[in-house]
């Protein structure tokens, strides 16, 4: 059938790629964080002390930093994010680290550069929790800048909700 041929050609062209799975250490940390985020951090940081896969270290640091951020330990989060940015600038985790730095910066005070970063980093380069917070902050900023009347604010709020559905916010500390 024609539909089957189109689907097969699309698959061969890479249009229906299987979603990439997170490495096992990341999946375990996300699962563990649902009940005990501190233990998830311990597991990731233990890996960092003993990890064998050099290419996996930046991704483990990104997730360790994100778990610290979600617990409100912004200093520890920033250390992980800065390490990635400074030591592995070509790694795919760098964009997530830049977004993490922007989120921690905006937690402390508003910044035009940090706000611009929220719009620039690719969603696929950051954990779902970062994307949820990114769009939550953008929705709030857009609403404040347009006296509560903004289609863009609604769009960002819907994106925040979409990402937050995939995240466990156990032990979450966020500014209001």
What is the percentage of the chain residues whose pLDDT exceeds 90?
56
69 sits in which H/E element: helix 57-71
* Phi, psi dihedral angles at 46 (to 5 degrees): -65, -45
pLDDT interval class at 12 (50, 70, 90): very low
Q: CA 82 to CA 100: how far, in whole Å?
A: 9
Label residue 169 by pLDDT band (50, 70, 90).
low
> For residue 12, what are its two tokens?
């061969």
Calpha distance 61→141 (Å, rounded): 29
Closest-CA residue to 167 (of 137, 135, 124, 131): 131
Q: Exposed, middle or buried by CB within 10 Å (0-12, 13-18, 19+), for 92?
A: middle
Task: Answer yes or no: is pLDDT of 104 > 60.
Answer: yes
What pTM, to 2 d.p., does this model score?
Answer: 0.81
Binning pLDDT at 50, 70 and 90, where does residue 44 land?
very high
**How far is residue 62's CA from residue 64's CA, in Å, rounded to a whole number?**
6
Reported as a single tens digit per residue, the pLDDT across 132-163 is 999 999 999 888 888 767 899 999 999 999 99
- d(Cα 20, Cα 23) in Å, to the nearest integer? 9
Does position 111 have pLDDT exceeding 80, yes or no? Answer: no
Helix (H, G, I), strand (E, B) or coil at 13: coil
The burial of 31, by beta-carbon neighbours within 10 Å (0-12 exposed, 13-18 middle, 19 or more buried), is given as exposed
pLDDT score at 168: 56
169: three-class secondary structure by DSSP: coil
Q: Residue 18: what pLDDT?
A: 43
DSSP 19: P
């Amino acid at each position: 059938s024609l539909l089957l041929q189109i689907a097969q050609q699309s698959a061969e062209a890479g249009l229906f790629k299987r979603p990439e799975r997170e490495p096992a250490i990341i999946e375990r940390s996300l699962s563990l964080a649902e009940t005990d985020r501190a233990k998830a951090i311990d597991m990731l940081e233990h890996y960092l002390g003993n990890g064998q896969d050099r290419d996996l270290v930046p991704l483990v640091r990104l997730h360790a930093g994100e778990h610290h951020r979600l617990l409100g330990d912004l200093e520890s989060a920033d250390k992980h994010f800065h390490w990635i940015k400074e030591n592995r600038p070509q790694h795919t985790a760098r964009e997530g680290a830049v977004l993490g730095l922007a989120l921690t910066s905006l937690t402390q005070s508003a910044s035009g550069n940090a706000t611009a970063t929220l719009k620039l980093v690719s969603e696929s380069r950051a954990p779902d929790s970062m994307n949820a917070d990114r769009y939550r902050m953008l929705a709030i900023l857009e609403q404040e800048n347009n006296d509560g009347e903004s289609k863009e604010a609604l769009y960002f709020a819907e994106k925040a909700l979409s990402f937050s559905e995939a995240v466990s916010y156990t032990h979450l500390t966020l500014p209001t």
